[in-house]
Amino acid sequence: MSTETAPMGKKRKRTKRDSGPAALSSKRSKSQDDVKENNLEGNGVSEEHVSGNEQSKDAEKEFAHPYRGKKEKKTPKADVVAEENPDNLQVQSTTQDAEHAAKKGKRRQKQRSEESRDVPLAVTDGHADPPPNEETTNDLWAVSDAIGGRFLRSDPVFSADEKFLILATARTVQIFSTATSILLRNIPVEPTDSLSDFCLSVTKPDHLYISTISGRIILWNWTKGEKIAQWSLDTEVKQLAAIVLSDSSEETLFTLEKEKRDWKVNAHSLQKNSPLPSQSVTLLNIDRKIRMFKVCQQGAAVIAATDDQIHVCSVQYVTDLVDATSSCSQLRSNESITTFEILERDGGSGISKKHAPKRVDLVVGSAEGTLFVYEDVLSKLGTRSQKSTSSSSVALNPLILHWHRQAVGTVRWSRDGNYIISGGKETTLILWQLSTGKKQALPHLAAAIDNLVVSPSGTSYAVHLADNSVIVLSTSELAPKASFTGIQSQAIHLPDWYGYKFHTVDSHESKSPFQKHPATIHPKHPSHILLTVPASQPWTESFTMVRAQPYLQTYDISAMRHVSRQALARNLATQFNEGPEGNKLKEPDVRFVQVSADGSWLATVEEWTPLPRDLEFLAAISPEARFRERASRREVYLKFWKWDAEKSQWGLGTRIDTPHIMERGSISGRVFDLVADPSGVGFATVGEDGFVRVWQPKSRMRNGRIVTGSQNEGLVNWTMTWALELERNAEALDADADVSVSVIPSNGKIAWSEDGSVIVATQDLPGNKNSAVHFIDAFTGDLKITRQSWYKSGLSDLGFLGRYLVILSDELYVWDTLSDTLVYGFVIEHIHALPKPDQRAMAHLAIDTANDTFAISICDKRKSNKKIIASTVVVFKPDKPNPIYQYYVPKVVTALLPAVGSAGYVLLDADAQILILKPQGESYLPTAKPLAAIEEDLLALEAQEADEDEDVEDPLALVEDGVDQAMDAMMAGGKDKEGDVDMADAVDDERTVVRPQQLGEIFDTGTSWVMPPLGDLFGGLMGMMEV
């Protein structure tokens, strides 16, 4: 792909700038007469004076006390010079030094040039280039380890004793306790690498093989946290399987590898003292994507699946592994294959049963929801080396099972082979009893089923759901025993390690996957991040789809655990989600979430529009008719939610239908932005109708009295306090025309000053390169001043940082609102970037008032690998053009938020991972570590906890012992001399039956880390013992 770069040293003229907003302060500093300009040409720095422009007379007339200020002097216009960036990021810089330029002018240009050499933004892979003669501040910032992450589709692995469950994300292997659902250990990979698969060793169950996309195989002792060995392959490893070959005591590692266009199944013999495999052999090599493979009969057979074929390979081994040979047969399918599983059964009977090779049964799941069951598939296909009937003369008559309406996500055999367990997008787990043909269903799981494994004893299922959670179910009652939930945000461009993507009849409408993720930090709970999430993201669908996000997840960053999830919009969790033609119904999408400054109110904006295919019948009239009809049927709701402490969830308080209605009165205008009042309870929106609206609560009155709720609290309704219309005219596209045309804005942004007194609003009008920035009194809604040409086009975001206004568009501008001057600006041109709409959509701005910094995130493609889309986060001071910190994120940043209560930033990327950027020494969110240290023995820790549990006396047992002793004493004291029992003093010897639910009511206080008072515990237990 060819790209163009601007020649170095070429000057570009800036458009006229007005003097700036006097509406922000009653005092205004004097404007500078001269402004310093640094132009980087080669290795030399030259300076020139730049002049500003006169303040707009119309704007002067709008000033009113106390906003009126002194008239600005003229300043010369600034020129901008571009420099080619070594990392394919072009930057143009403008800097100003008001005091020196106003007093000394040209006579001290050279001296000032030597004293303050500023360089433009230079983004590199992870660090900032330090300015000349200045010490870099990169070492003063730190980045946390990745928190969360999306679980890979690799099979969850139970330990041999089933006390642990092993899962993996792209960055770490995570070991959980099945008894407590607590994360015990993280085993990370290199920060520059990504994990692709893992498997347990067959000979040593405490050893774990890990593969990465860079071709590395790493062996860990997962119980002790020790790295044992590492090997390097020349290809990208996708899947692993450890097998002990027949007539061998050593372990052989089978791998699925991708080398250019070839997909291979290889076998490797690994030695711990060698960085390379000692022996390797290729058993299957095709030019089609292999989604998964299985090894059976102690390595004598390999079965692999492509889109429409099952490859069954018989392997013959000799003395050395490198001399092994294989012959393969294909089993073709008329339907797309999504998954398969094998079961090895004893193949003989009587005396020969022990020595007979095991037969292999195969079950295949398809994209149409059908299951095909093949018995003794190796024998029928003639893939074994022993004498067999020709496969061409044997009819493969599979047993066909069909219940799933859509693609089968996973299929497994029970340990005894009597059942087949399957799941898919229907959120229902199906158990097929093969002997009777009957089936049992477990419906209404939280999301679609992506994967499932059976525990070694066959008493538990580990079910991997498409909402990035894993639950452990008992096989007898199908009741949950443990649950592990990660961050459920929408994923973009995940590693397609199965190499498999296809579209089914329910595929969503095609949209760009690059969209900002609605998220916010709770102002009263700095460790809680609130983010919208979709219902599910099945692995059988493309991860480039844009899915509606009608749910709200609260995730505790510090504790690294899921807190809660609730619905914000209507959803199809328990409803039939298909239309008459088999197309999936669309759910509303929550576009914005914000929490009020006191943490008591949540504001959300949701939008729903019919899919284009639902209005195809209007295309016969005209394409415009279908577009108009979609717009007229659009639904937009602004909702305000009150926090319910008793239920620990948000309750809907007020719903505003069509908050920004268009002029015609029949079309719901889109909401472009939603912000919260930083100093009080209130929210502001800007929409497609060109209005800024402020919303605040108002007491609900009835007959002159305040209406109260069940807790005697006053109820409120949210209403619009004021509305202000922005400009609706754009400059004429024809230079010869002298008229302007009214257009609908394509984007809009608003920002609230820190003290809550000023709202800044702006909007993008198509064809207009002279964008206006409006300063509005937040209390009255009066427009105080408008500034033209403070940015050009491509608006992404804007925000206040003290006296400075930061605008991020196709350029980055920092304006001093007190002196009405441009502090500095950068024009950023991505040489290998996304299309401009996607580039603007993924540009983030976050303002951190705790340490007076702001950060931007820019989405870019790496020149080394254009298939990888990454992001770069740059942190600035508002008064210095040199970035103080830069960090390269290997994935796309979907949300960038300022930390609450401390300095720093919170990043959410496309792999559902959270990173924390903070200055060194800041104590913001000390993330909870796993229970076991990396070098600690998990088995010893488990045994120690078991001993401690035995040492702790059971309060219920103590109570029962006390009751028994009291009854014994009463019985002994109640006997007369003849040994008779005094019935008046005797009590019934029958013990009270205590149910587990009763104990749960006493000990379950809602918080797992705080025990209730001992007095309450004792009183509750004694209350249960009362007769």
Q: Which of 155, 162, 143 is nearest to 197 (CA)?
A: 155
Separation CA 150–CA 912 (nearest Å)? 6
Q: Which of 434-438, 557-561, 594-598, 725-729 shows the lowest mean pLDDT across its residues?
A: 725-729
Instruction: Give the predicted TM-score (pTM) of the model.
Output: 0.77
DSSP bridge pairs for 89: 830
Indicate whether 91 pLDDT > 50: no
**Per-residue pLDDT tens digits for 916-956:** 999 987 765 555 556 566 566 776 666 665 555 555 444 44
Separation CA 261–CA 308 (nearest Å)? 18
Strands 279-286 and 262-269: antiparallel
Residues of the chain with CATH 2.130.10: 584-811+824-919
State the CATH architecture for 584-811+824-919.
7 Propeller (2.130)
At residue 352, the pLDDT reads: 52
At residue 510, the pLDDT reads: 52
> With 0-12 CB in 10 A as exposed, 13-18 as middle and 19+ as buried, what is 101?
buried
End-to-end, the C-alpha distance of the chain in Å comes to 84
At residue 46, the pLDDT reads: 32
Task: Give 473-516 as a DSSP string.
Answer: EETTT--EEEEEE---PPP-S---TT------TTPPPP--S--P
Q: Which of 133-147, 353-367, 544-558, 641-655 shows the lowest mean pLDDT across its residues?
A: 133-147
> How many CA atoms lie less than 13 Å away from 996 in the CB half-sphere?
0
Q: Tell me the residue type at 685.
A: T
At residue 707, the pLDDT reads: 86
| H or E element, residue 945 | helix 938-951
Higher pLDDT, 497 or 306: 306
> With 0-12 CB in 10 A as exposed, 13-18 as middle and 19+ as buried, what is 941?
middle
Prior bond to 66 cis, omega within 30?
yes
Structure tokens at 787: 């500034």
Separation CA 569–CA 607 (nearest Å)? 9
**Residue 903 dihedral angles phi and psi, to the nearest 5°:** -80, 145
Q: Tell me the residue type at 213.
A: I
Q: Contact 967/989 with Cβ under 8 angstroms?
A: yes
Separation CA 137–CA 140 (nearest Å)? 5
pLDDT (mean) for 123-127: 34
Q: Tell me the residue type at 1027.
A: V
Q: How far is CA 975 from CA 20, 157, 313, 654, 987, in A?
A: 100, 63, 84, 72, 13
Q: Which of 217, 311, 215, 315 is nearest to 257 (CA)?
A: 215
pLDDT confidence band for 54 (50 / 70 / 90): very low
**Per-residue pLDDT tens digits for 684-718:** 999 999 999 999 999 988 888 888 877 778 889 99
At residue 413, the pLDDT reads: 96
Tracing tokens 């500023």 back to the chain, one arrives at 118
At residue 660, the pLDDT reads: 94
Give percent of the chain with pLDDT exceeding 70: 68
pLDDT confidence band for 112 (50 / 70 / 90): very low
**Per-residue pLDDT tens digits for 725-757:** 998 765 443 444 454 556 788 899 999 999 999
pLDDT (mean) for 599-619: 86
Indicate whether 67 pLDDT > 60: no
Compute the C-alpha angle 836/837/838, nearest 5°: 90
Separation CA 996–CA 998 (nearest Å)? 5
Structure tokens at 657: 């239908």
Separation CA 604–CA 650 (nearest Å)? 11
pLDDT (mean) for 333-352: 80
Q: Which of 160-174, 509-523, 652-666 shows the lowest mean pLDDT across its residues?
A: 509-523
Separation CA 213–CA 177 (nearest Å)? 28
Three-state DSSP class for 277? Answer: coil
Q: Contact 589/548 with Cβ under 8 angstroms?
A: yes
Q: Contact 850/918 with Cβ under 8 angstroms?
A: no
Give percent of the chain with pLDDT exceeding 90: 44
Higher pLDDT, 615 or 351: 615
Please enumerate in sequence order all residues whose Cβ is within 8 A of that of 495, keeping only pairs 6 or more positions apart, or say none.
170, 194, 196, 213
Q: Contact 262/287 with Cβ under 8 angstroms?
A: yes
Q: How far is CA 786 from CA 17, 22, 57, 211, 727, in A?
A: 12, 10, 11, 58, 10
Indicate whether 228 pLDDT > 90: yes
**Per-residue pLDDT tens digits for 800-829:** 999 999 999 989 999 999 988 999 998 876
